[in-house]
Amino acid sequence: MHAIRLKGVADTDVVAEVTGTPVDRATKTIDSLADVELVKRVETRRLRGRQITTFGRERHQTELAADIDQAASRDQVGAA
């Protein structure tokens, strides 16, 4: 989800490249995100791919904050 959020709109190949994930795995992950309405398909003349939904942005923000908190906790533990 983070790769799509950073790119704005991204197709499976781009997500796979950005994340270093095989295309088939990226496809399954994106399909799973779409199933729970975290991303949606976008097709216009200029853009084609997946885009994060409003619900997805909220979820992404929550998960990113949790990752940052966890990383900060690890740093504190490592310093002790």
Domains of the chain, CATH where assigned = 2-79 (1.10.10.10)
Q: Can you tell me the distance from the alpha carbon of 42 to that of 51, in angstroms, rounded to the nearest whole number?
A: 7
Q: DSSP of 27-53, one letter per residue?
A: HHHHHHHHHTTSEEEEE-SS-EEEEE-
Q: Can you tell me the distance from the alpha carbon of 23 to that of 63, in angstroms, rounded to the nearest whole number?
A: 23
| pLDDT tens track, the chain, 80 positions | 889 998 999 999 999 999 999 999 999 999 999 999 999 999 989 889 999 999 999 999 999 888 888 887 766 655 65
Measured in whole angstroms, the distance separating CA 59 from the mean position of its chain's CA atoms is: 10
* Single pTM value for the model: 0.76
